């Protein structure tokens, strides 16, 4: 199977097909992560139309979307992140210079042959412009993708191999969702 990865800033009408694949791939997290991990169709449409966000879209030979990744140095364009946090952590100069990037997602249709290779291609593609500016790539992973499905270590290893050096894989923040059960419901 031949997979073509296109880099684009604007997705046009194809965003509907990309969103369908994205939702299908991300849907299991809806019941596995306490914080919403899936963009709404409006958020996704805005991302797809935003030329400040770089998109890597993987298409099979039938032009079906089988993989997708996004990244931007324009932190204000990403819903649900705290731009003041990144400004404090890395400094206004780095953020304003476009050297602090956020990666909202990297996802691959698991039914596609060569899923691991495609995931690696997308990760390398997203990392390339970040490395070019000697920047920082910031991502978030729910706990499941840190441990049970080791996407975080896999992505970090791909980056290390592609760039021939340790890029560090610092956990910047961790969040715990706590329940108080007053009725023996758990």
DSSP one-letter string for 15-55? HHHHHHHHHHHHGGGGGT-SS--S--HHHHHHHHH-TTSEE
Q: 85-104: string of b/e by CB count within 10 Å (b at 16+)? A: ebbebbeeebbeebbbbbbb
Model pLDDT for residues 117-167, shown as the tens digit of each residue: 888 889 889 888 988 998 988 887 655 554 554 454 566 676 666 666 666
d(CA 19, CA 43): 10
Model pLDDT for residues 9-53, shown as the tens digit of each residue: 777 777 888 899 999 988 887 787 777 778 898 999 998 899 999
Model pLDDT for residues 89-116, shown as the tens digit of each residue: 999 999 999 999 999 888 889 888 888 8
d(CA 106, CA 100): 17
d(CA 18, CA 6): 13
Q: Show the domains of the chain with their CATH numbers.
A: 4-163 (3.40.630.30)
pLDDT value of position 150: 47
């Amino acid at each position: 199977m031949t997979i073509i990865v296109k880099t684009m800033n604007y997705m046009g009408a194809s965003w509907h097909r990309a969103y369908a694949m994205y939702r299908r791939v991300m849907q299991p997290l809806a019941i596995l992560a306490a914080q919403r991990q899936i963009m709404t169709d409006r958020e996704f449409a805005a991302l797809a139309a935003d030329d400040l966000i770089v998109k890597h879209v993987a298409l099979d030979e039938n032009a079906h979307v089988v993989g997708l990744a996004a990244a931007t140095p324009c932190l204000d364009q990403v819903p649900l992140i705290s731009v003041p946090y990144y400004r404090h952590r890395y400094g206004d100069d780095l953020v304003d210079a476009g050297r602090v990037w956020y990666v909202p997602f990297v996802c691959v249709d698991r039914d596609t042959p060569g899923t691991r290779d495609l995931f690696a291609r997308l990760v390398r593609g997203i990392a390339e412009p970040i490395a070019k500016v000697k920047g920082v790539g910031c991502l978030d992973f729910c706990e499941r993708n840190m441990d049970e499905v080791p996407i975080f270590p896999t992505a970090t290893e791909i980056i290390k191999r592609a760039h021939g050096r340790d890029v560090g894989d610092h956990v910047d923040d961790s969040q715990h969702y706590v329940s108080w059960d007053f009725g023996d419901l758990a």
